[in-house]
Amino acid sequence: MQLHQPAIQQRFEALGASLLVVSFSEQQVLADWVSFFRAAFLERSYRERSIDLPKSILDRTIFLSNPDLSAYHAYGLGTMRVSRAFRLKNLWQYARWSTQRKVITKWYGNPFQRGGDFVIGANGLITLAHSGADQSDRPAAEEIVKALGHNRLQ
């Protein structure tokens, strides 16, 4: 969600950047998730901020279904141990979301698959490579934007 905030989206647009989301889900499951994400997270977040959700909010986002995990493996993203996937801080996060009445969905696919965030320039150079220690481990949006800006300088 942090990359779909208004200020970050404006910076993506100014840099001519797009966001690629790679999922290990089958194509139909991913399509259903995108609709869910828009309604349950984007629309709700913008509404809470009293901001209109732009119709073009996902125009700079490409969603790729990769159930054979070839893209994950190409970037060295393996699986987590059970103790990593179900760390106390992650379980606590789900408990907080529950008390805040946030939507919690069931898992599809492998809950132990490690995620990652990568910034790749038009020249093919990687200026940010982050392999998450667990599901919640993501770089800050500002770090991603900084890496995008670095790509423009090369």
| 136 CB-near residues (< 8 Å, 6+ apart) | 89, 90, 93
Q: Is this model's pTM higher than 0.85 or not?
A: no
Tens of pLDDT along 47-67? 888 988 888 888 888 899 999
The torsion defined by the Cα of 96, 98, 104 and 110, in degrees rounded to 10, comes to 60
CA nearest 117: which of 84, 94, 145? Answer: 145
pLDDT of residue 87: 75
CA-to-CA dists, residue 83 to 34, 90, 106, 137, 152, angstroms: 28, 11, 19, 15, 39
Which residue positions in the chain have pLDDT lower than 50? 1
Which residue type occupies 136?
S
pLDDT of residue 113: 80
Count of CA atoms in the C-beta half-sphere (13 A) of 136: 11
CA distance 141 to 3: 6
In the DSSP assignment, the letter for residue 95 is H
51 three-state secondary structure: coil
